Amino acid sequence: MKNQLSLISLLFAANTLFSQPLFTYGTKSVNKKDFIIAFSKNPPTKEDRRKALDEYLGLYINYKLKVQAGYDEELNKQPSFMEEGRNFRRQIADNIINEEVGIKKFTDEAFERSEKDIHAAQIFIEIKTAGDTASAYKQISAAYKALQEGKPFGEVAAIYSSDASAKRTKGDIGFITAFTLSYAFENEIYKLKPGTYSKPYKSSIGYHIFKNLGERPALGKRKIAQLRLATPKGFSKDERNEYSILADSIYDLLQKGEPFEKAVQQFSNDYKTAANGGVVGDVSVGDYDTDFEKEVFALKNVGDISKPFATNFGYHIIKLLEKKPAPSSINDANAYAEVKQTVEKEERLATSKKNALENRWLVVTKYKPEMYNQAAFKAYTDSNIMHQITNGIKQISDTTLLFSFEKKKIYAADWAVYIAAKLAKMLPDYSANLKEFVNTSCAQYYTDNLELYSKAMQDQCKEFDEANVLFAAMDKHVWGKSSSDPDELKAFYEKNKAKYQWKESVSGILVNCKTKEAAIELASRIKLAPQDWRKIVDSYGANVNVDSSRYELSQLPLKQHIENKEGFESTPEKNANDEGYSFIYVVQSHPLKEQRSFEDAKGAATNDYQQKLEEDWLATLKKKYPVKVNDAVWKTIQ
């Protein structure tokens, strides 16, 4: 008991210390936790962490002072600032909500599942629209009992399945992978080990028993083009035979070298693909008819063309354009991003959002339904649907309050706008439409006010706003000030003129070429006719970059010794940061130290002047917002 009390005391003391102010500036404070979070975003490159912490503390204090000055000067209330803030919030809200409802879990799961294909089968008993669940349940129970008695799955599927195709195929669905079927079905199948079947599963359309017939490493995707001779319903046997003969003739042409795209243009009657060379796009496992899929994945090499084959949709000849292997490592950023993109558009995430809405969002947004006359509301709704005048309806009008959230009220007029926009998709029961309207309104309100409910949103918006305020404050007090008063900058240069000196330097033509061969050739041509260097360089187009200026020898991006004499040309050498080659041709020699003119020194003088303005501004801020560091807390940060 004594040990437990000691541990509790230590934890309490640690938490107290963690929340104590690390430093104060004016009436504001920063605690240890916030400082450590900020420091962790900019990890030190130096081995001396203590030194890095000391340096960062000074920088962080200065940052806080500048930001506070910006807020006190109301720079955050500028229209451009507020518009940028709104745009940023709109851009990140969906991502934060996706994280909240588990997109990482869904993406990781889908990525893992996409590494294998499962050969699946099912027994399916449809629940008729009338809702005779008892009869369907009796059938699926009988099928399950037959399986438990040892009867073959295919035989049971053929006997009990209400779906004609399932009877014909003995329940064989073919291979599936992540996203092939609905998420609910996918979950049931991926739970199964090879050779096992599920218990009866009830969906919105019927009862199912799934079986895992076997597994294989995922085949990935194939990008294909096809030449299709579509056979409409009602085609006679003779007509199909004519198409079969034509397909064989086309295949013979292709074997003799006829371009596939040309053959597609001439013969294909598939209106979806004929105009673009027959390109279908990416084909995944389970996307198409099993017979079609087998032919696609049978092609081994890019450029291979299949023999003609028949499906229920006609005769096909396909060409393999690209093989896209299945993702093999969750660390593959591109593959992971592709899976995540699919999850974002898919039902599993939408279902998770709906669950979050019903179980949390309606509560935290303080959704409150109002009382109103239901009969009058139905009449108001019907009148709006029929575009009739609603003024005569008693007990309800456009200003009738339907429901509210914490900071927003929803009126009948909002409902009228909603139903007018979705007339074609109205549900038969108006109360179901109203529930959907409530959910839509709640989702929109929650998204628009996410900062009230999400710590992640609060943190990101605070960081964005502070960065914008800092930029505006620096522009006002430093950057803009240095550029708005050229006389002050000139005076600063004159006062510090001795600092701006040319060291040993050359005026020259610095040339960067994409290849060694081009650099050698160009150097030779410039050496022969330096007066024509612009014309010579222009003839190489974008393959050459050139800069004509004065350079201090110590600043040249060349390793070799540069002779400080007119007419000297360096040997082309490989760049340190890319595959290009560079050289310099010296036009004029400057061997002695010289005073830089104002124009020559303007860049360096501007930087120094801005640094002085910033230092002076910070000195003023430290008087306005006195800084005091809590040494006791500071010593605990290691």
Residue 93 structure tokens: 């809200």
Instruction: Work out the pLDDT band at 132, boundaries 50, 70, 90.
Output: confident
| Contact (Cβ atoms closer than 8 angstroms) between residue 285 and residue 219 | yes
Q: What is the pLDDT of residues 350-397, one digit of tens each?
A: 999 999 999 999 999 999 999 999 999 988 888 887 776 766 678 889
CB atoms within 10 A of CB 217: 11
Closest CA to 308 of 316, 296, 300, 319: 316
pLDDT at 468: 95
Three-class DSSP labels, 176-231: ECCCCCCHHHHHHHHCCCCCCECCCEECCCEEEEEEEEEEEECCCEEEEEEEEEEC
Phi, psi (degrees; rounded to nearest 5) at 571: -75, 130
pLDDT at 128: 81
Please state whether 278 falls in left (phi above 0), alpha (psi between -120 and 50) or beta: left
pLDDT at 419: 87
Residue 384 structure tokens: 């709006």
d(CA 218, CA 216): 6
Instruction: Work out the pLDDT band at 48, boundaries 50, 70, 90.
Output: confident
Residue 307, SS3?
coil
d(CA 370, CA 315): 61
**Domains of the chain (ranges, CATH numbers):** 116-217 (3.10.50.40), 221-324 (3.10.50.40), 366-448 (no CATH), 501-595 (3.10.50)
Residue 412, SS3?
helix
pLDDT at 384: 80
d(CA 481, CA 611): 12
pLDDT at 17: 53
pLDDT at 430: 77
Instruction: Work out the pLDDT band at 638, boundaries 50, 70, 90.
Output: confident
d(CA 224, CA 316): 12
Least confident of 75-79, 224-228, 431-435, 596-600: 431-435
Q: What is the pLDDT of residues 586-612, one digit of tens each?
A: 999 999 999 999 999 999 999 999 999
Instruction: Work out the pLDDT band at 12, boundaries 50, 70, 90.
Output: very low
Phi, psi (degrees; rounded to nearest 5) at 268: -65, 135
Instruction: Work out the pLDDT band at 43, boundaries 50, 70, 90.
Output: confident
Name 84's Cβ contacts closer than 8 Å, sequence gap at least 6: 468
Q: What is the pLDDT of residues 497-529, one digit of tens each?
A: 999 999 999 999 999 999 999 999 999 999 999
Residue 206's Cβ-side half-sphere holds a number of Cα atoms within 13 Å equal to 21
Least confident of 81-90, 124-133, 383-392: 383-392
pLDDT at 10: 42
d(CA 148, CA 184): 24
pLDDT at 390: 64
pLDDT at 587: 96
> pTM (2 decimals)?
0.75
Phi, psi (degrees; rounded to nearest 5) at 208: -135, 150
Written as one letter, the residue type at 111 is F
Q: To which residue do tokens 């505006």 refer?
A: 472
Name 636's Cβ contacts closer than 8 Å, sequence gap at least 6: 17, 32
d(CA 267, CA 29): 76
H-helix or E-strand spanning residue 562: none
d(CA 283, CA 291): 13
Buried b (16+ CB within 10 A) or exposed e, 373-407: eeebbebbbebbeeeeebeebeebeeebebbbbee
pLDDT at 290: 86
Please state, for a pLDDT cut of 70, what percent of the chain lies above it: 95
- Does the pLDDT at position 260 exceed 90? yes
d(CA 637, CA 30): 14
Q: What is the mean pLDDT of the chain?
A: 92
| Contact (Cβ atoms closer than 8 angstroms) between residue 465 and residue 97 | no
Average pLDDT over residues 424-448: 86
Residue 92 burial (C-beta neighbours within 10 Å; 0-12, 13-18, 19+): middle
Q: What is the pLDDT of residues 608-632, one digit of tens each?
A: 999 999 999 999 999 999 999 999 9
pLDDT at 130: 67
Residue 111 burial (C-beta neighbours within 10 Å; 0-12, 13-18, 19+): buried
Residue 378 structure tokens: 């139905």
